[in-house]
Amino acid sequence: MALTIAGSDSGGGAGIQADLKTFAALGVHGTSAIACLTAQNPKRVLAVETCSPVLLRRQIEAVFEELPPAAVKTGMLFTEENIRVAANFFRNPQSAICSPPLVVDPVMVSTSGAVLLKPEAIKTLKEKLLPLAVLTTPNLDEAEILTGCHLASAEDLRAAARDIHARFGCAALVKGGHLKNSREAVDIYFDGRTELLLGAPFIKGVSTHGTGCTYSAAVTGYLARGLALPTAVKRAKEFITQAIAGGYRIRKHFALNPLFY
């Protein structure tokens, strides 16, 4: 079993919906705790309304009470209060029946440019949640926020992954899908000992809404199945590549197809 703590996407392409589809594709029972509701479609985010910290905590407790997950991921938490809820739960061993690995997808900005993490929450994310993670999965923009450095090449991604590991103590998977003038979608993984360069050809003519959610959910799903972290990351890269390649059109938009895998 796996748990996702994230936002709901009314368009069905990202967030909780993408995570649960990914878990199902990997043969993992998915559970969820909804941190916020969004009114969004593949083009834009119209509105966000956060869940109360009390209800978010109760959702997580309800899952652990009867369906303790083998791995957990966080996605869009949106507020400082909800980041603290997640951090406090996973920091206190008495809060949980088990201590599953935690994957933090530091969702800050959508592909369309919408702000998905309030500025005052970034400090709390860095200080309280990332040190509890086994892995964080920032995209290019998020890695720049976490490191304070401009990233323009694969070598920059490599330095960022090492910097994030040094700062927060967790492994880093820095995603380079938004790198300009790159022939491949290059990601760098670093956990203090193992470094991986993960490349895949760009697939032309497709949108990538929900890719980050699906990618981190795939890592979480593979961890729930018992794979070691570097292996889970490599398998997740293969998974997301196939999900993009097997995507399909919905009206005038493009949807990932995790079930294709």
208 counts as catalytic:
yes
pLDDT at 251 exceeding the cut of 90: no
Number of domains making up the chain? 1
**pTM tops 0.85, yes or no:** yes
210 counts as catalytic:
yes
CB atoms within 10 A of CB 92: 9
Give the confidence band of 205 by pLDDT, cuts at 50, 70, 90.
low
Residues 112-119: what's their mean pLDDT? 68
Q: pLDDT above 90 covers what percent of the chain?
A: 68
pLDDT at 208 exceeding the cut of 70: no
211 counts as catalytic:
yes
212 counts as catalytic:
yes
Choose the catalytic residue: 75, 210, 221, 247.
210
pLDDT at 249 exceeding the cut of 70: no
Choose the catalytic residue: 74, 208, 214, 220.
208
Cα–Cα distance measured from residue 220 to residue 138, given in angstroms and rounded to the nearest whole number: 15
What CATH number does the domain containing 173 carry? Answer: 3.40.1190.20
pLDDT digits (tens, 9 = 90+) for 71-91: 999 999 999 999 999 999 998
15 counts as catalytic:
no
Residues 47-67: what's their mean pLDDT? 95
Give the confidence band of 184 by pLDDT, cuts at 50, 70, 90.
confident
pLDDT at 94 exceeding the cut of 60: no
175 counts as catalytic:
yes
Q: Is the dihedral of CA 14, 19, 24, 25 positive or negative?
A: positive
Range of the domain at 141: 2-260
Residues 188-210: what's their mean pLDDT? 83
Choose the catalytic residue: 11, 75, 212, 247.
212
